[in-house]
Amino acid sequence: MDNTFHPLFYGFHFYLFSLIAIASALLFVTRKSPVAAALWLINVMFCLAALYVMLDAQFIGAIQVLVYAGAIMVVFLFVVMLLNLGRPGELADIRGLAPRLVAGGVGLALLAEVMVLARTRFPAQPLPAAAVGRLSAQGAGGVIAPVAGPLFREHLLAFELTSILLLAAIVGAVVIGKTREAGDAR
């Protein structure tokens, strides 16, 4: 089987995930509800992770999902819920029939794509021989060493300061939330 299918396959999905990421980012900045905005931001993070995986940076894609879409967004949603910024009526972004039909159409298109991909036969070795040789020559460090080395050597201070900054933001949000509660009780 020839590899002419792969450039079209990867090109299509690159543009698909890029457009979804851009649309989700636009929806993120236009939402009034912070909970809905956070959910759109999670969608952006998943699309970026898919783009990283398509660029053969699987580790960065996994970290994108675990750290950003997972941990940081859970903390953000926790703080939003703690401050009680979202009202139950504002949580639903889709109002009316037209957006629901568009969402259903997109869902059916993605389902059809999954069905087509499930029936497609891929070659046993999708990578060219030169790429396989390059991947095996990376040694024991694999693809993680080029990321982890500089992160924990040259940029360790910035990495730790970022975690302290996030912790200070959470503590500040809790203090602001408790101050509002005390002010509302009067």
Query: Residue 157 falls within a domain, yes or no?
Result: no
Helical H segments across 31-155, by residue range: 34-54, 58-63, 73-83, 97-119, 129-136, 145-153
Using an 8 Å Cβ cutoff, are 86 and 60 in contact?
no
Q: How far apart are CA 65 and CA 8, in angstroms?
A: 26
Query: Residue 68 falls within a domain, yes or no?
Result: yes
Q: Looking at residue 89, what DSSP letter applies? A: G
Q: How far apart are CA 15 and CA 161, in angstroms?
A: 35
Query: Residue 171 falls within a domain, yes or no?
Result: no
Query: Residue 55 falls within a domain, yes or no?
Result: yes
Residue 1 — pLDDT band, cuts 50, 70, 90? very low
User: CB count, 10 Å around CB of 9?
Assistant: 16
> Structure tokens of 53?
């995986």
- pLDDT score of 168: 85
Query: Residue 91 falls within a domain, yes or no?
Result: yes
pLDDT above 70 coverage of the chain, percent: 73
Query: Residue 53 falls within a domain, yes or no?
Result: yes
Query: Residue 181 falls within a domain, yes or no?
Result: no
| Tally of domains in the chain | 1
Residue 102 has pLDDT above 60, yes or no: yes
Write out the residue range of the structural domain in which residue 96 sits: 5-136
pTM exceeds cut of 0.75: no
Q: What is the CATH number of the domain that holds 129?
A: 1.20.120.1200
Query: Residue 99 falls within a domain, yes or no?
Result: yes
Between the alpha carbon of residue 52 and those of residues 9, 64, 79, the distances in Å are 16, 9, 29
